[in-house]
């Protein structure tokens, strides 16, 4: 037989495009259209409906960037259409390739009832099926003219990312506003041919099934009269019945389709627009649920559910009904789909606390899966947090974006730093925007790496990023793929149903230990420094506010600010979303974030101040409040006292220029360039700085990645470096313990103050950068005289070790990594820590010196600033302040303590008496991360702590108040958890902890 595949396939493409698809709407009449442009920010629905619009013609330009236009469309269904299905086809000027990334609309009836959303892949509104003829049609469209930021030539700088700079030029052309007859038989024929054509393209050329499909398609096209598609569509469908009814083979891969609309809580749009995106998407999905009895839709991010409840009560009522039917599923159990690298221990825990509690309170539903399809890598501390929240599964697909190594599993156990394992699935479809294309389904089946042991995978199905969700076409395709020869078998299921099946069929999956590092988007650890600083500061202010308010509530009857803390926590958690905290959103988002963090800081400072005044009373006694989990200068952890004197620091000129700082513990030499050329641990008689090098070295790199400007730093940035060694001035500080350095480069200026505090083994570095570079990367280097094959980075509730070498491609790919408050490097018996108050990105490299002692130089470099131009062309321009400390002679305990110290500076005040801590721990490895009152308002005290050094610990916690009962709880403060029950003797509570084990205790007050 002659091979005519190309001929038939080309025929199929043309006939579909030029004849059959256009025949889906064979008749149409225009609607009358009028429009009112809201003068500023979006207006309430009632105001938009009541506004008086002006006529507008199809073909007219409309929509200034970030504007809102209210269209009114009116018309009459022709009497001749009686008995037929009629839809309004409403094209605002869509580009069908950009669902979620351009203009969108929400359709309302005149009474304000939302009907459904409009987007490039969803332009229809059902008028009747069938119609009687003569119906009057009146619809209102709240249309958002969001500009296209990520265009066909992506990553070009644009000022469209902020309404203040976007201008007023109309963005879109009104394209179609019609009433149209829907020929459902033709529509079904389109789906038949699409599914078979896409399946055919994925089958082997020599397979009988491919030729069966090809011949059936050819026969069906023969049956289509191109001048009467509607009249012949049924006959064409009849010729496809056989190939569409052939069942899948028993060994076919099984795909659980989950309706999905990944909606970035902010990204190329501001938070206020996400509120409307969620309303549009949930309107669509509740409507689709009503039309399609098998369809199941899952939505994560409790914050987005809360927005619907607050801003769109009519939509909320429909959502609640669909949830009650089990068709609209709360997923993920987190407040937002957050970044997981940078949020601190408590913040990561509270993502689950607030997310799960929302779904429990609203629906009585307990989420058991973490749902994070788009997060940029996963910290090694996350598994035990998931488990401590009462969950047991994780889903993500983002690791498939890694550019160097292919992850070896799709279903596996992920083991965290404490040994907790979480059953984890990476959908092999490799997208969270699956549209049920044959290529996607075939890729999932071929790509699945656990064949022979497992056969189930999940496909998040629907348009995402900017929302939109699942379409009726996707549902129709899935119906054809439910049991189709040559394809994986597709069924709509909830995430829970998938995980139960996957776990049951794969009782002993492989294990992956440690972080799930994304080999991409590494620069998100540095971009938008002020957003990151605001997050870090907010996390620690919340710790202080809870600690002092709880202490004052127990000791002095202080009114605990439950509502204020709940609201602030949710705001901070929202800004940990994986495009806000990572710095990858438009300028508008980060401008608002900076203002929000300032407002939060003022409010939390007010709570802290009021609580401390209630505790200290009125008096002249000098007091220092210490919110850190370790004592300092005689002030107890979580208490207040008069600090003890700490000795003295001397400042002397250095013979070769520069200055020498000495406090009896460390001797620091700063040369005439303002570089640290020696940091000697006097007690250990050990030099910290590698021979022939200098620390406090600012290094500037070009930074122009191949794509994803705000997200990526590519390894070739290291090929070119400028050491910033020229100083404008190096002067002694007036306090006798510091040196001030000023240096200029490019269009920028750096002012540093290096301080050696009396009685402390640390050199403090306070760096202020007035930054006006573009496409540059600023690093701060510390070359250390240390032979270390691995180093420790703090992560949630512990630390994680990474190699310093690049033996394999996996290690080489980690050329930029995340830490929280410290990194620590050590040889047996001696180490060094570098701690920070607000930076996350860093790199660690090692070289062996060729001359002299042939020792090893291990260099830690802190990432300070970048200057990408997309999506915010003014990223990080302006003044920034960073605080770091170099801690020679540090063991891991010192790194932990100094990391807390720099992030929780002491607060000085006066009062009548010292303040004893509410709770103390007698083991320095047991670090208390939270002291608060229980969220339920009972007045119980909740204490959360973990083993922080990586060893076992037996510790006694002492409550300095009368305790009636002690309960081990999960993160939601409910009885439970797998911890060994503590031994309780009055107010003394003895616990045993595994390495990095997390524990939460609830103390009922007597």
**Annotated catalytic residue, options 183, 192, 264, 374:** 374
List the helix and strand counts (H, then E) for the chain.
Answer: 19, 53
Phi and psi of 925, rounded to 5°?
-75, -15
Using the 8-state DSSP alphabet, how is residue 21 labeled?
G
**Is 965 among the residues known to form the active site?**
no
User: Which two three-digit tokens encode residue 269?
Assistant: 């749009």
- Strand 254-259 to strand 489-492: parallel, antiparallel, or no bridges (unpaired)? parallel
User: Which two three-digit tokens encode residue 501?
Assistant: 């099946």
What element of type H or E holds 651? strand 650-653
Three-state helix/strand/coil letters over 394-449: EECCHHHHCCCCCCCCCEEEEECCCCCEEEEECCCCCCCCECCCHHHHHHHHHHCC
Q: What is the dihedral of CA 586, 589, 592, 596, to 10 degrees?
A: -140
Q: Kindly write down the DSSP assignment for every residue of 92-154, as one continuous string.
A: SS--TT-TTSS-EEEEE-TTS-EEEEEBTTB-EEEEESS--S--EEEEEEEEEE---SS-SST
Number of other CB atoms surrounding residue 613 within 10 Å: 16
Q: Cβ distance 739 to 753 under 8 Å?
A: yes
Strands (E) located in 267-363: 297-299, 328-330
At residue 352, the 3 state secondary structure works out as helix
At residue 284, the 3 state secondary structure works out as helix
Phi and psi of 331, rounded to 5°?
-130, 155
CA dist 173 → 32, 159, 223 (Å): 16, 21, 38
The answer for 385, left when phi > 0, alpha when psi is -120 to 50, beta otherwise, is alpha
Q: What is the dihedral of CA 366, 372, 373, 376, to 10 degrees?
A: 180
Nearest Cα residue to 435 out of 401, 404, 461, 469: 461
What are the catalytic residues? 374
């Amino acid at each position: 037989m002659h091979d005519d595949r190309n001929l038939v396939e080309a025929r199929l493409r043309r006939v579909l495009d030029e004849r059959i698809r256009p025949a889906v709407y064979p008749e149409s009449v225009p609607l009358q259209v009028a429009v009112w442009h809201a003068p500023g920010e979006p207006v309430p629905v009632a105001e938009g409906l009541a506004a008086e619009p002006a006529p507008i013609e199809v073909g007219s330009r409309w929509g200034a960037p970030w504007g809102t236009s209210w269209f009114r469309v009116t018309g009459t269904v022709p009497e001749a259409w009686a008995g037929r299905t009629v839809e309004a086809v409403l094209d605002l000027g869509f580009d069908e390739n950009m669902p979620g990334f351009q203009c969108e609309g929400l359709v309302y009836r005149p009474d304000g009832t939302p009907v459904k959303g409009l987007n490039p892949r969803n332009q229809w509104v059902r008028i009747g099926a069938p119609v009687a003829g003569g119906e009057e049609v009146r619809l209102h469209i709240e249309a958002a003219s969001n500009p296209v930021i990520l265009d066909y030539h992506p990553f070009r700088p644009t000022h469209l990312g902020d309404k203040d700079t976007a201008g007023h030029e109309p963005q879109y052309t009104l394209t179609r506003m019609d009433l149209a007859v829907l020929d459902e038989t033709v529509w079904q024929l389109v789906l038949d041919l699409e599914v078979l054509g896409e399946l055919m393209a994925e089958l082997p050329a020599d397979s009988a099934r491919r030729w069966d499909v090809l011949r059936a398609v050819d026969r069906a096209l023969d049956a289509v009269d191109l001048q009467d598609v509607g009249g012949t569509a049924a006959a064409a469908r009849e010729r496809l019945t056989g190939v569409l009814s052939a069942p899948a083979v028993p060994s076919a891969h099984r795909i659980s389709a989950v309706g999905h609309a990944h909606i970035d809580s902010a990204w190329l749009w501001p938070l206020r627009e996400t509120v409307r995106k969620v309303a549009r998407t949930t309107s669509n999905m509740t409507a689709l649920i009503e039309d399609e009895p098998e369809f199941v839709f899952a939505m994560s991010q409790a914050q987005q559910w809360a927005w619907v409840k607050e801003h769109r009560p009519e939509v909320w009522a429909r959502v609640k009904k669909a949830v009650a039917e089990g068709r609209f599923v709360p997923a993920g159990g987190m407040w937002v789909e957050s970044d997981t690298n940078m949020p601190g221990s408590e913040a990561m825990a509270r993502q689950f606390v607030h997310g799960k509690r929302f779904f429990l309170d609203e629906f009585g539903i307990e989420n058991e899966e973490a749902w994070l399809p788009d997060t940029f890598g996963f910290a090694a501390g996350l598994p035990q947090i998931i488990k401590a929240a009462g969950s047991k599964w994780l889903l993500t697909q983002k690791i498939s974006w890694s550019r160097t190594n292919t992850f070896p599993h799709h279903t596996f156990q992920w083991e965290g730093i404490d040994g907790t394992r979480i059953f984890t699935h990476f959908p092999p479809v490799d997208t969270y925007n699956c549209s049920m294309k044959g290529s996607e389904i075939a890729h999932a089946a071929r790509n699945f790496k656990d064949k022979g042991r497992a056969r189930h995978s999940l496909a998040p199905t629907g348009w995402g990023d900017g929302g939109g969700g699942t379409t009726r076409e996707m549902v129709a395709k899935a119906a054809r793929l439910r049991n189709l020869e040559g394809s994986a078998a597709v069924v709509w299921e909830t995430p829970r149903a998938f995980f139960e099946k996957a776990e049951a069929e794969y009782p002993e999956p492989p294990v992956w230990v440690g972080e799930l590092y994304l080999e991409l988007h590494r620069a998100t650890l540095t971009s938008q420094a002020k957003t990151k600083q605001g997050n870090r500061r907010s996390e620690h202010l919340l710790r202080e506010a809870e600690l002092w308010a709880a202490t004052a509530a127990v000791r002095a009857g202080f009114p605990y600010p439950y509502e204020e803390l709940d609201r602030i926590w949710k705001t901070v958690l929202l800004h940990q979303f994986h495009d806000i905290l990572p710095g990858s959103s438009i300028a508008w988002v980060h401008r608002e974030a900076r203002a929000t963090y300032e407002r939060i800081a003022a409010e939390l400072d007010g709570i802290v101040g009021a609580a401390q005044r209630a505790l200290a009373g009125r008096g002249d006694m000098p007091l220092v409040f210490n919110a850190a989990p370790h004592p300092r200068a005689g002030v107890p952890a979580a208490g207040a006292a008069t600090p003890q004197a700490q000795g003295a620091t001397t400042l002397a000129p250095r013979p070769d220029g520069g200055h020498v700082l000495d406090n009896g513990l460390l001797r620091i030499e700063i040369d005439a360039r303002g570089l640290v050329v020696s940091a000697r641990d006097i007690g250990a008689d050990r030099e910290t700085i590698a021979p022939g090098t200098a620390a406090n070295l600012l290094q500037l790199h070009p930074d122009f990645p191949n794509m994803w400007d705000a997200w990526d730093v590519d390894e070739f940035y290291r090929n070119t470096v400028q050491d910033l060694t020229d100083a404008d001035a190096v002067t002694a500080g007036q306090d006798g313990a510091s040196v001030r350095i000023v240096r200029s480069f490019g269009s920028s200026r750096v002012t540093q103050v290096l301080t050696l505090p009396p009685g402390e083994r640390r050199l403090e570095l306070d760096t202020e950068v007035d930054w006006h570079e573009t496409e540059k990367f600023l690093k701060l280097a510390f070359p250390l005289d240390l032979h270390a094959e691995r180093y420790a980075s703090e992560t949630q509730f512990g630390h994680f070790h990474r190699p310093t070498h690049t033996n394999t491609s996996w290690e080489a790919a980690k050329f930029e990594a995340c830490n929280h408050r410290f990194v620590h490097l050590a040889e047996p018996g001696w180490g060094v820590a570098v701690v920070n108050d607000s930076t996350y990105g860093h790199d660690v490299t090692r070289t062996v010196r060729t001359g002299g002692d042939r020792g090893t130089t291990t260099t830690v470099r802190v990432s300070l600033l970048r200057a990408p131009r997309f999506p915010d062309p003014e990223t990080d321009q302006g003044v920034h302040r960073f605080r770091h400390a170099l801690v020679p002679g540090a063991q891991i305990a010192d790194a932990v303590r100094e990391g807390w110290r720099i992030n929780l500076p002491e607060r000085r005040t006066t009062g009548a008496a010292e303040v004893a801590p509410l709770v103390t721990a007698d083991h320095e490895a047991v670090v208390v991360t939270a002291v608060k009152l229980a969220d339920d308002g009972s007045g119980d005290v909740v204490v959360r702590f973990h083993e922080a050094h990586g060893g076992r610990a037996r510790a006694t916690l002492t409550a300095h108040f009368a305790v009636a009962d002690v309960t081990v709880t999960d993160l939601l403060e409910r009885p439970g958890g797998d911890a060994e029950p503590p031994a309780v003797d009055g107010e003394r509570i003895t616990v045993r902890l595994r390495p990095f084990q997390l524990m939460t205790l609830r103390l009922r007050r007597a």
